[in-house]
Structure formats: C-alpha cells, structure tokens
Structure 1
Amino acid sequence: MVLMICYACDDYLEILPEGQENSENYFNSESDYQNALVGVYDLLSTTYLSNVLGEIASDNTLCGGGDATDVLDWQQIDDMTHTADNGALRSVFQWMYAGISRANYIIEFKDKTDFSGKDQLLAENLFLRSYYYFELVKFFGDVPMYLDGRISIEESQSIDRTPKAQVYAQLEQDLNSIIDDLPWQQDQNGRVTKGAALALLGKIYLYQDKFPEAVTVLDRVINEGPYDLVSDYSTIFLNSNENNIESVFEVQYSGGQEGASFGCFQCVEGNVAAGFMGVRWLGGNYSPYAYGFSFNVPVQELYDAYEDGDTRREPTIFDVNAFMASRPDVTITEGNEHTGYFNHKYLPYAEAVLPDQNINHSNNYRAIRFSDVLLMAAEAYSRGGLGDGTAQAYLNRVRRRAFGDTNHDITSSGSALTQDIWNERRLELAGEGHRFFDQVRTGQTSSIPGFTGRNVLFPIPRIEIELAGNRWPQNDGY
C-alpha cells in the first residue's frame, strides 16, 4: 500500500510511483489517490528528527550519545557550532520537500478523476503539505515554495526563496480552505481531522503574533472539538494509550516488519528517535525498556524546574539512578554528557521492529496535544490583551491536571501571566520537540548555551544552494 516509500534514497525530487512509466497512467481511480496519499503521510515518520533537534538545540537537554563525536551533526547543533554542511539539517530540508513533492503530485492531478469523498482526501493532502512547510519555516525561515505540481530539477534551479510572511499567508489560505471538508473524528487513527487543521492554523497565527486570529481558531478546538485532558499525565505517552482523547494530531509509527536502518533513515516506519533516546543498559532486568544510545539527555535545571507535587516530572524525566536503586541487579554504561536523566516520554520499550531493533520502535509521536492547544490559546489571550481571565482559565486547566488540585492556580496578569504561560509550556511539553522553537519565537534564548543572533534560524544546506544554481542567499551568519 505504501507508495514511493524510499525514492528519497536516490533523489528527493524523483516522484514517479513504482511501476508507473508515465504519470498520465495514474490517478484513474479512488484507490490511486488513496495510495498516493499514503505516500504523503509516510513522510511524517521522518519528523522524528524535528523532535530530537527541537530539544537538544534548546536549554532542556544535552546531545549525549556515546562520545563527543557520536552523531556529530547533532553534537554541533547542541553546541550551536553547526554550519551549512550539517547533515541533519540537510535531512530536514530534503525530507520535508519530499513530503511536499508527494503532496503536489496529487494536486497536479486533482481534477483527473472524480469519486465520493475526494474533497476530504484533498483536504488531508493540503494539511500535510502545510505541516511540512511549517516545519521548514521553523528551521530555515524563507524557503522556496512550490504549489502547483511536482518539483522538477529544472524548477528547483529557477525558483527563489519565498519570504516567510508569504509562506505563512499561503498556509493560512490553504488551511482555512480545508477546515469545512474535514471531520472532527476519523475512522483511521492518524488521519487529519478538523481539529488538527484548526490547531495547526492557530499555531501559525501565534508564530506571527496574530493573536485575535489565533484565539478564534484555537477556541474552536477547545469548545467544539472532542478533546479533553487525560486525567493521569503519566499514562499519556504509554504505547498502550496512543491516540487518546488528548491527541489532536499524532504521527503513527508501525510495529510491523519494516523500518529504518543505519543505511536508510528515511525508510523509517518505527520511531527512530525513541531508540536513540534510550538508556545504554548493560545488564540486569530493566524490563519493560529496551537498549538505546543515550541521546537527548535532560539537564538538572529542567528536573529542578518542576515544583514539589507536580505529577509531570517523573513521566517526563526518567531518573535512571532511582530506577537502578529499585533494581540493584541493573547496570548501565554512562554515555557522553551523562546527567542521570532520560526523556521518559519517548523511552524505547522492548517491542522494536525490523530491520534494526535498536532504532525502530512503535512509540507514536504526539505532534499536537490538547494541552498544547490550551496553552497556545492562553498565550494568545494574554499577549493580545484579549482577556487575562480566559488565559488564566486555560492555563490553570493544565496545572490542575498536573497537581490534582486548585492550590497551584496562577493568578498573575499582564506580562507576568505571559511569562507564567511560557514557563508552563516548558514543563508541560518538555521532551516533545517544541522548546527551542518556543524560545526563539518568544525571545527567551539567553539560557541556551552558545546561542547567538545567527541561531534564530538554521542555515540552508550548502549543497541545496549549489543544486539550485547558487541563486538562494544564505541565512545571516552562515
């Protein structure tokens, strides 16, 4: 069923589906469109890299790994010494454009064949393209924008970088156009819903400081959607509790017999990030967890940021020393920059899939959670001067779940309330890949070691500039 599963292994611009000599022979039936859409969804699995980089680039975690040269691309991003030759950044660039090119393939032939449900299919496709473009803008700012069809090599050498504001305007237009064509709930887990489209649109508004617009769409998710907070925070990220009532948009990872290998990370079906973030177990009974490579290790300062009684700390930060104290037979190998802490939300379990059981796990990525929506809406109300009372209500809804009572409610107002909301985002969403981008968009970067003015954006990969005929200017400082 998965179409074009690994064309990016050779050239991410190559788009023809396997077995099709001519694209004119395709899109003759609903199943053709559905299979092509599966190919667009498939690139969501590569966003595991955004999860990792969004944490190690921030003040939440250190890169870790086996030593200071282990996955050097990640180490450089952690130290803010990365250059335009960083391979991880090129992967983000390539993989997101691979998803965009697959989406554009459907758009190019969207009028070829009619069938019932086509409007919803095209809406899902447009959401996915918007999601991939938003990832690119977060990382790189101005990016080339292709809208009408597949991306040819010739086109890549004749199209300039599109200003970020113009990209955002297109994403706003696209997302607004599809909301009415999407249902609140889908029969298949992971499919795009109305709530996902509204939430992504709200986030895009928030990133541009368009607070009234953000409030309008985020309130719809809160008041009209089928979402709620899971009562017990410690259960949200269990593999047995995927696609729960708090999930607004969730990337599905497979427990099947196919997956990434060290020779083809873009072939991912299992969650690569989980394997990289696990503990380097040495011996003893460490069930239910699996071996990992000790990357993305939380720092002591993050652990200490949680107040006494905050039930989120242990489900967020795995204290391996406390675990070993409870199981004296367990031993570990300490990795680089060992802090004693690991990302508990995506700690690998002993259920890995093939071909490499160290890097393929079925932990779904909770891309947009309902608590994230509440905190985005709270921020928009607070920063937009649209109502401190509503901002407090949304913020305290999250805090009451964390503490189990109303004794820790926030009563601040004005700029102090905004700061309280930002602090809460860190605690609520730690380990989920949002921290660095939150810090950049809010100007809260002074706590990031090595951060300078150039680091508000990552560099456009040098080789991509060269492949585009050296027509794209590089981001400042690179």
Structure 2
Amino acid sequence: MKKRIIYFALLIGLLACSDDFTESPAVGALSDSALQNAVGVDLMLTGAYSVLDGTRANGFGEGWATSGDNWIMDVMSDDAHKGSTDGDQPELFNLETMSWSTGSSYFLGKWGVVFAGVNRANAVIALINSIEEGDFSAQLAEARFLRGHYNFELQKMWGNVPYISDENYANTEFNQPNPGPIWDQIEADFDYAMNNLPTTQDFPGRPTSWAAKAFLGKAHLHQSEWDDAFTLLNDVVANGPYDLMADYVDNFRLAGDNSVESIFSIQFAADDGQSYNGNAQGALNFPNPGPFGSCCGFYQPTQDLLNAFQTDGSGLPLLDTYNQTDVNSDFAIDSSSPFTPFDGPLDPRADYTVGRRGIDYNGYGEHIGNDWIRAEYTDISGSYLPKKNVYWEGEADNQATGAWGQQLSGVNYHIMRFADVLLMAAEAAVEKSSPNLPLAMDYVNRVRDRAKNSNYMQAVDGSGDAANYVIDTYTSFADQAFARKAVRFERRVELGMEGHRLFDLRRWGNYVDVMTEYNTNEARTIPPFGTKAGSYSATNLLFPIPINAIDQSGGVLTQNPGF
C-alpha cells in the first residue's frame, strides 16, 4: 500500500517484460494491451487505493481540502475550529463561519479528489471486464468496495451527486446528471464486495468481507433503515474478527495500525523520516510552534468538545448539562501568568483528544499554554491543540519533515474502527422496529468500559493521574429517548476529532439546532468567535455543488437547494 514504491516497481516490471521495446508506449504511459494481465490489474488497483489519502499530482481546487481524514469537516461541526490565525486559509475561515459559496476552492478540491477515486475504481472494473482469461473476482470486489466508499463520501457531503459507472468510464460518458441520492448504487457495490471478498487479507489496508458488511450497514444507517443496518452491524459485532484494543489511545499510535480494532484505514508511512507517504494533507494540523517547532497551528478542538467530557459524581456523562460548566480555559492568559487546570470529574478520553494547558502533550511534556498556540486573542480558534493526529514523542520515526518544515505523520487514519461499529449497532438497536435497549446499553458500555480500564494520562511530575478522571458504565437505559441520547453522546466523546461529527449531526436532523446553541456556548470562552461566527440553516445540510463542475457540465449538473 506504499503507493509510490509499488507504482514504480510495477511500472518498471511492465516495461521490462515487453517483447518488443520498439512498440512500447510513450514514456509515462501504458498501452491497453500492457495492462491486460494480473500485473496490470494490480497496478490499476493500487492507483485506486492511492486516492484514499487525498494526494493527487493533477488535483484542482484547494489541496488541503482533499485530506482523507476529513479534518475540514470537523471544522464545520462543533468539534473543531479551523485553527491558526483567521487570515490564514481564508476559504477555510469562510467554511467555519458559514460564509459558503459555490466557488469555494475547498469544496472544489474535495469534489475533485473523491471523483478521482471513483474514476480510478471504475478504471479497474472496466479493465477486468475487458480481460477474457483469468479469475479477477477478488480484485473486482476490492475495486467495487473502493467505488462504494468514494461514492459514499460524495453522497454524505453533497446528497445529490452524479453516478459514474464503469460503463460510463469505458465509453468516456462522464457528464452525468445528479437527480438525487445514489444509495442504491453504493449498496450494490458494498453488497458485491461483502459476497466476494475474502474474510482475511494477506496485505494490510485491503478490505475484507467483514469490512464490506460494516460499510453496507453504515450505508443503511445513514438512510435510517434501522432494521437492515442492525442485522448487518450486529453480525459484525457478534461474529466478526474485531475487538476493542485494551488501551484507547493506542488507536492513534503505531500500536493501532492494522490492529484488532481497525476495520478499514488509510495506510500512512514515514519510514524514518525519509518518505513522503505520510499524511501530507494533514500537515497543517500540528502545534505552532509547540514542543517540537512544528507547523502550522490548524485544527484546534473547541471548548464545547472539551466540556462534553465532563462527568457527574458517578462517572456518567452530563448529557443535557455539560455546557453549564466550562472546563477551565486559558484563552487570553499568557503562558507566563498563573493558571489553574480544571479539577472537576472528567472522562479520561478528554486528555487523549484535546491538548490543554497543564497536561502532558503526547509525551512531549506539559502543555505550556498560549506560547504553543498560533491563534491570537483576536482570532476565533481558542487555546486548545489536537492530539489524535499528532504522533507521540518516542515514535518520531513515524514522521517526515517536508520542504517547508511540515510534519507528515506515518500513523494510519481509521476510516472505520470497531468502536464506531459498536456504537452504530447500538444506535440501530435503539431505533429499529423492535428496539433492544439492553443490547444497545451493552454495546455502549463496552466502549465506556474500555475507556474506564485504559491507562490514564499521567501528571508530568509523576504524582499520579493528570486530572480527576471519573468514568463508569450505565446501569439502565430507562426508555428509548434516553437511550438515543446516550448513544449519540457516546459517539461524540469516543470519536471526537476523527471526522465523523458533521455527518452524524446531519443524519440525525439536529445540525441547525446543535450548531446554533454551540455558537452561544463557544462565545463564553472565546469572545471573538461570538462576533465572527455565522448562522446556520437547512441550506447547510448539504454542500453546494462546485460552480466549476456545473459550468463544465454545460448545465447537466443542477445546484443543491439554497445556493
């Protein structure tokens, strides 16, 4: 999966095996006949995988928007601010403050890279369908899984998107209309993959039949097809090969790469600082300067997210009241000035998700406050740092430094991990035609029990736990309304800063209400946010179709409502 190495190795092999080099294709190109074999299929399939991380040599629009970990989607939710200064990446500032436009370079960049993934998957499918001999059913299943994934990304972002089939690809009929959702086609690809992929793979990063079943279940979940979603997701939980890792934080360290909790991940690598197969599109999201002089101070967690980790005296979350008290913020407090960290009860996952003053920062020592924050006191992004995407001290071999000092993490990003599946299965158990609240509580408690029994962040002076960590499991889900609230809240504290929050709020139908309340709450500790943040409406439930795409389609594509 280390795409550049594989690409060049296969390219050299293909050219070297030519019987008549005088008939070889031009440099940098391969003829159709050269691809009509197993090596050609694998080469094309590698190209389809390579788009997962968002890196393209021929991309258009804003490059940072293409990141496969969807960090910019968190910026449009209540999990994260854009970070850095307000004037750095102004288009991203517009996304956070709801000043959306159809000409946004960020929307265009994401649109382009995901359709590149669709095209490359279609290229594999069309190639396999053109080969008369050989069994390529496994490779076809992988290609259809990838096409399903890329179309899923398009669907949950834009809602009304064109469907480009492998026949469209083969006939170069790319200009297709976007009359509505493409869920049927997404489900068909995941269903085919589920029935044709092996249960295990020899190479990390390739999907299995179990992964396809989980993604098919998620597709049904996003359509509120609860019974179908439950049947699939519950089977993955009950009979699949996955489990929770013993230690929560290991999901964001090397120990989590292709672990028992990993269902499908982007395969990053840094190779002792010499390779650029790291997360290049996430390079902005490191402290600036922080403990190791990195760049660029983007992707800062919100006060609202940190507040959500507060617990009551028994260790349960404050489902309705978590914003009635703020975890102590050092916004506008210089690092040289006194500061007292919060001493109330907290879920231990707080300090593996949000970097805050007075607490160890991923093994680099105590977070010293605003001297590590690039955002200024007049900016909207506050005083917290991201943690899940930042490699740990002692694992520096998993990062590379680019030409202008950017950090490229080699730790995998989990597009889906088992905790996510447990909570999706719990949600479906709550919502299905015959709700099963005890099972939903059991699945939520498995996630909470892992957090309870994980290693807690330790104080930098060696005196014990870094904060007052208090967490426990539920003893009952009294009714469906309470169970629904508990499951949804658990998704936030378990999966915060992992690129899921925006899409959860949209499919639950409460995005506008949650974000409107978030604006009010966030302004308490970050006053500039209150004066600069925009308002939310039903228009924000889908992204605008990029105007460039509409223009190039000659009017075949139609714009989403409200734009």
Q: TM-score range by the shorter chain?
A: 0.7 to 0.9
1:398-431 CA-to-partner distances (Å, cap 9, x unmatched) read: 1111223994315222121111100110111000
CA distance in structure 2 between the partners assigned to 1:329 and 1:90 by the alignment: 36
1:447 maps to which residue? Answer: 514
Query: 163, 175, 178: which is aligned to 1:161?
Result: 178
Structure 2 residue matching 1:177: 3-state secondary structure: helix
Instruction: Quote the residue 1:297 is aligned against.
Output: 300
Cα distance change, pair 419–127 in 1 and its aligned pair in 2 (3 A): same
Paired residues of 1:258 and 1:355 also in contact (CA < 8 A): no
C-alpha contact (below 8 Å) 1:291/1:348 kept by paired residues: no
Query: Contact conserved, 1:298 with 1:342, CA < 8 A, in 2?
Result: yes
3-state SS of the aligned residue for 2:400? coil
Alignment of 1:78-477 (within 5 A): 78-113=96-131, 118-149=136-167, 151=169, 155-157=173-175, 159-164=176-181, 167-256=182-271, 257=274, 259=276, 269-281=277-289, 286=291, 291-306=294-309, 307=311, 308-323=345-360, 326=366, 331-335=371-375, 336-348=379-391, 350=396, 351-355=399-403, 357-384=405-432, 385-404=434-453, 407-409=472-474, 411-412=476-477, 413-445=479-511, 446-448=513-515, 449=519, 450-477=535-562
Work out the CA distance in 2 between the residues paired with 1:152 and 1:452.
40
Cα deviation per residue 1:437-463 (whole Å; 9 max; x = unaligned)? Answer: 100110222232422110000000000
Give the Cα separation in 2 of the matches to 1:94 and 1:338: 28
Please state how far the C-alpha of 1:193 moved relative to its aligned partner. 1.2
Which moved further from structure 2: 205-214 or 228-237? 228-237
- For structure 1, the residue ranges without an aligned partner over 5 or more in a row are 6-15, 260-268
- Structure (1 or 2) with the larger CA radius of gyration: 2
Q: Is 110-119 or 42-51 further displaced after alignment?
A: 110-119
SS of the aligned residue for 1:253 comes to: coil
Distance 1:173 1:343, change over 3 A: same
Distance, in Å, in 1 between the alignment partners of 2:368 and 2:544 is 47
Indicate the larger mover: 342-351 or 434-443. Answer: 342-351
Does the 8 A contact of 2:357 with 2:369 survive in 1? no
Distance 1:83 1:327 in 2: 37
The one-letter code sitting in structure 2 at the alignment partner of 1:372 is D
Task: Measure the CA separation in 1 of the matches of 2:302 and 2:123.
Answer: 43
**AA paired with 1:402?**
A
What secondary structure sits across from 2:359 in the alignment?
helix
Distance 1:199 1:213 in 2: 12
Query: In structure 2, how many angstroms separate the alpha carbons of the residues matched to 1:18 and 1:130?
Result: 32
1:333 deviates by 4.5
Name the TM-score, length of structure 2 as normaliser: 0.74
Q: How many residues are aligned here? A: 449
Report the Cα offset of residue 152 of structure 1.
8.4
Q: CA offset at residue 244 of structure 1?
A: 1.2
Q: Residue type matched to 1:408 in 2?
A: T
Name whichever of 143-152 and 299-308 sits farther off.
143-152
**Would the alpha carbon gap of residues 273 and 348 (structure 1) be closer, same or farther in structure 2, given more than 3 Å must change?**
farther
Letter matched to residue 460 of structure 1: I
Shift of 1:297: 0.8
Please, what is the CA RMSD of the aligned residues? 2.7
Q: Kindly indicate whether the alpha-carbon contact (under 8 Å) linking 1:272 and 1:360 is maintained by their aligned counterparts in 2.
A: yes
In the alignment, the residues of structure 1 paired with residue 293 and residue 240 of structure 2 have an alpha-carbon distance, to the nearest angstrom, of 36
Contact 2:161 2:178 (C-alpha < 8 Å) held by counterparts: yes
Q: Structure 1 357/161 Cα, relative in aligned 2: closer, same or farther at 3 Å?
A: same
Per-residue CA deviation, residues 304-329 of structure 1 (Å, 9 max, x unaligned), is 21123522111111224534883779
TM-score, structure 1 as length reference: 0.87
Superposed CA deviations along residues 249-283 of structure 1, whole A, max 9, x for unmatched, are 11111315554xxxxxxxxx32135422211126x
